[in-house]
Structure 1
Amino acid sequence: QVATVSEPILAVANALANIDVFSSLAELAVRYSYVRPELTEDNRININQGRHPVVERSLVDSSFVPNDTYLSNDDAQLIVLTGPNMSGKSTYLRQVAIIVLLAQIGSFVPVASATIGLVDRVFTRIGAREDLVAGQSTFMVEMVETANILNNAAPRSLIILDEIGRGTSTYDGLSIARAVAEYIHNYPGLGAKTLFATHYHEMVELASFLPRVKNFNVAVIEEAGKVIFLYKILPGGVDKSYGIHVAQLAGLPKSVVYRAREVLVELEEDSGKALAKPSPKGRRRPEEVPQQLLLLGQKSPLLEKLEKLEIDALTPLEAINKLYELQKKAREG
């Protein structure tokens, strides 16, 4: 008997499903102040005070910080977004994609106002994961997904890229990230609207010679050695990732954080020396500079290093190793 009336039953189930979806979207719009977006056929996405519909509902002790977005194939095609970890870059990328998707399925969206130029597809490369079954590393999965985007995206597409190139060495990763950005910008059959989040601060240089690249960053305040995240998207690039500050917030031991700062200073000094070296073609043997006695009242470098030591943050073994290190430098003169 049920089989004889299966078609009407399925039709009723489908109608109830549609009613459930539409009523849920309507309830969300009324309860959380969503507004009706304006859909157009031009190539601009203009979002005013956009919010992430999931993250804003999960916040208990604080309110969500809304952000604007402007993308256009004509003058702001590719946004390079820099900022520290935990500052909200990935949330911002996701909220733009979700707002565009909600608008195109007929839903109201979590914004103050929005004009959405229709997109044909939304491509995303977010997160890090490996495919054990297929024998693909995290970096290989990242490259496969990036290749799919570059081979299938069109001018009407929206591309979301988060940390392209982070799964390999710094120079390889930076080279790939820059080449991908240049390809999206320059390739005649592509030119899609793109949000590109990265920790490679060298990427901000693209805006100096690619006319449709714009730099934005997530604002932070540094006070008393600590970082305060403002979660606000501002024009311009940044030159710091604050990775050690985030590690400190995560609860790493003080000795590890202190040692990380030491290593960072050493690496930055080595990088500066490498940049200052003359090219091999015009290299000359440096003249020996005689070591001079310290002037009266001038502080010894060993004393300065000793004063900067955070004794309370060192374990007994680390303190002994540091003492041997200072003794060795003192004997070397």
Structure 2
Amino acid sequence: LTLGHFPSSLAGTTVGGLCATRSSGQESSRYGSIEDMVLSLAVVMPDGTFAAPRPGPRSSLGPALHELYLGSEGALGVIIGAVLKVHRLPEFVVGRGFGFADLTSALASMRAVMQAGIRPLLMRLYDPEDAAFNGYDLPLGACVLVVATAGLKAVAEAEADAVRRFAGNADDLGEEPWDRWQRHRFDLSAERLKSLLEPPGAYLDVIELAAPWTVLPQLHSQVKAAIGVGGIALCHFSHAYEQGCCAYFTFAGARDTEDAARSAYSRAWEGAMSSALELGATISHHHGAGQARARWIADEMGGWMRLWTSVKEAVDPAGVMNPRALGGAR
């Protein structure tokens, strides 16, 4: 059996933490994200009240209140247990890579796959810079799409054939890109650039956004322009849905002084967040809010921010839990 939840941070996580940060894993296009896997939770509220998991695979008895804790980042209590969905392991997996001449056609292929009803085990697109950084020898401007389908052997093979058709004129790169991804699947994206962190004045970070298919090309170009000034900017697309997908940016740079580096780093974040909000993207697909995004949370949440604030005040009037969660007191 498998939960089907494999975030890159798996080795350092807990189930409660994955729930509290509304985590998403590498195989989310097939199995969903953590909110799709949680049937119920056991929590201890700030006043000591214990809430046990509710019965059944589903209930229509009021709102699913446990979902308030998915993404709450410790503001409403402590998650001490979870009832999770598991699945039988797929009988067969087919994986391969495709080389596309440009990003737009590759994104169109991803969209076609998802909107045809195929639920790939993995679908990950590396933009030209990320593909080159990963050692793919492709023409200038080309990108790499890695796709795996899974299930009963006949189903996995049929879906793989459909993926090939949706790839159109892309070059078939065979199984090696899939094999390579499996070998490095738990390598953290930023780890690849650690050698660039030479003090003083070096910085490195990742920003993951999500947007509808029609917005992704513009989001990609604007964010790359914002975070890549005087440094390196890479992007891969993953966590695909019928409606859109996640754009995961990795960036690094260096300045002559720590102060100059902090300023450049802050401008990169400012540019990425402003672009996301301007284009209608979410400012976080699966890394949560933390403090890095605190300034922009209310801008995305809009009227929902009042509801969230009211819930926090009702559940934790004394503020004994995480007071800075999701735009709280700083």
Instruction: Report the structure, 1 or 2, having the larger helix content.
Output: 1
Task: State TM-score, norm by structure 1.
Answer: 0.24
The TM-score normalised by the length of structure 2 is: 0.24
Larger Rg: 1
